[in-house]
Structure 1
């Protein structure tokens, strides 16, 4: 099995780069100026055949979350392909083991979307208990009869306990926002934060996820999707949540068992949910569409102009560093050992 060298490598002058989705104009223009770049125009994902053709004759592939770069595609790639510079932080759509076996480096773009995703998470935390989506639909329907003491009652979030699964960059950014709204912070993470950081966030660590789930009022998920986290929030764990709890997911759809979530919501065993990600995107379970207490968004947590450009800048930095013969700053190493 080829090893990924951590030292300088031969330079790759003017690498041939294929970008699988249409990106921001400024990003595509810069890539074309710096590299021998083929940009995809038109907002549609490549087919599997198109991906295979691109990977057969390029030095660098720039995929997105909509591209399933599996074992077969990587094994069929041409000998030139030595870098997969992912446009986005998550890499669960790329077979990292197969890439390593072929000596292909994988990079991602961590950090640039932290604030945007945290903002959207906070919006969902506010929207679901306060029934904002229901209220907006009521106004648009023309059926609103005006203010009344019992109209559109929801729940305040101040004083409630927020449980965060995954306390990385995004989880911590959510905690900072949530504190300003008067929420108390609880978290479950593989590793406990340093005491100084816990004090800054006024956060309580729960070594046991199950114990935390039984003690909170709102649950928000910010952990990567991998073998350990797939269906982490399953029927058993959903049953640990109290009936008044709201579940928020702006991470990855596969972390929550959607069938179990639907069953709990339909049975009134959860108060509601705010979802920006889906298990089978873009297909959404019609049972969720029918539930009024679910706020649904089209995977737009990171969708800001600033974030998209910053992501492109990260991709370019990784390609330039690799092409100059050095280790890219955002090389993905986790799970490669």
Structure 2
């Protein structure tokens, strides 16, 4: 039986590539560059399936030009804001994602960013590393205490719930806003806010874990940032466009926002150079799921979806 032909757009984990090459005729470029619109359109005539990352954009314009040979797009991500799902469905192309396997890794990074932002990690590291540490005082690098503070979480999916569990280890008071209230066992004593403004007022720390949708783009604009308590710390490991970056810089410079920890940006790769002058903004290059265990699990989940599809079954994570 002829193996389906699969295009893997980026360099996935060794275990994922080995399994894919065992079961599929794989096209993969070790140069590891993002697939352009032209690449996607061209490859659609050569392959039966694609495993893309969030760096490949399936816009309506691109989807309209895809070859009928392409049958499934098995995303190596949970977020699918890079895909026009309506256009893909109309084209008859199946779409899947990888939920449930990257929650802990991303929540770990959110915790790291929260602690680092609260305790001046970037500035402290620079001072010691540069040899400039020649002074100490009780007023030196005084940060914001995490233990016992109020934590607001926007989006209580897998990552949000994992982050809440980890934050309880610091005795944080968990507050959250979600499209719907969790069951009592999942809520685990957290306080639900049906109104976002109510949550913001109760958040000494705020962490974003919601998807990017037309309703959530620029969710944290100047008005909403102003509703946070003075000195609040904001963390974003979801999508960069959830925050209006100009408004965040203004809030940082005014002192209303005390610090920020960011793993994602409006412009990726590259980030926002205007953030770099602020040592109370801790930044990582969108690596929330970057652990060996999680990248293997994401790759295997994408392949599980492909395997089911080509057996004639409904993929477990079909959208």
TM-score normalized with structure 2 length: 0.97
Structure 1 equivalent of residue 313 of structure 2: 326
2:271 to 274, 281, 284: 284
Structure 2 equivalent of residue 142 of structure 1: 131
**Unmatched 5+ residue regions in structure 2?**
none
Count of aligned pairs between the two proteins: 319
State whether structure 2 residue 4 is matched by structure 1 residue 15: yes
In the alignment, the residues of structure 1 paired with residue 185 and residue 6 of structure 2 have an alpha-carbon distance, to the nearest angstrom, of 44
Structure 2 equivalent of residue 184 of structure 1: 173
Q: How does 1:1-337 map to 2 (within 5 A)?
A: 14-145=3-134, 147-198=136-187, 200=188, 202-332=189-319
In the alignment, the residues of structure 1 paired with residue 5 and residue 271 of structure 2 have an alpha-carbon distance, to the nearest angstrom, of 37
- CA shift, 1:319, in A, is 0.5
Greater mean deviation of Cα atoms: 31-40 or 111-120: 31-40
C-alpha contact 1:13 1:323 (8 A) present in aligned 2: no
Provide Cα deviations, 1:261-317, integer angstroms capped at 9, x if missing partner: 111111212111000000111132222111111001111111111111111100110
SS in 1 for 2:33: coil
Q: Which structure is higher in RCO with an 8 Å CA cutoff and minimum separation 6? A: 1
Aligned alpha-carbon RMSD (Å): 1.3
**Unmatched 5+ residue regions in structure 1?**
1-11, 333-337
In the alignment, the residues of structure 2 paired with residue 205 and residue 22 of structure 1 have an alpha-carbon distance, to the nearest angstrom, of 40
- CA shift, 1:151, in A, is 2.0
Greater mean deviation of Cα atoms: 41-50 or 303-312: 41-50
Structure 1 runs of 4+ off > 6 angstroms?
none
- CA shift, 1:13, in A, is 5.4
C-alpha contact 1:58 1:78 (8 A) present in aligned 2: no
SS in 2 for 1:271: strand
Provide Cα deviations, 1:36-71, integer angstroms capped at 9, x if missing partner: 211221222123322221122211011101111111
In the alignment, the residues of structure 2 paired with residue 107 and residue 82 of structure 1 have an alpha-carbon distance, to the nearest angstrom, of 12
- CA shift, 1:141, in A, is 1.2
SS in 2 for 1:128: helix
In the alignment, the residues of structure 1 paired with residue 223 and residue 256 of structure 2 have an alpha-carbon distance, to the nearest angstrom, of 12
- CA shift, 1:16, in A, is 1.2
C-alpha contact 1:234 1:257 (8 A) present in aligned 2: yes
In the alignment, the residues of structure 2 paired with residue 260 and residue 248 of structure 1 have an alpha-carbon distance, to the nearest angstrom, of 15
In the alignment, the residues of structure 1 paired with residue 37 and residue 158 of structure 2 have an alpha-carbon distance, to the nearest angstrom, of 33
- CA shift, 1:15, in A, is 1.3
In the alignment, the residues of structure 1 paired with residue 198 and residue 43 of structure 2 have an alpha-carbon distance, to the nearest angstrom, of 48
In the alignment, the residues of structure 1 paired with residue 202 and residue 316 of structure 2 have an alpha-carbon distance, to the nearest angstrom, of 39
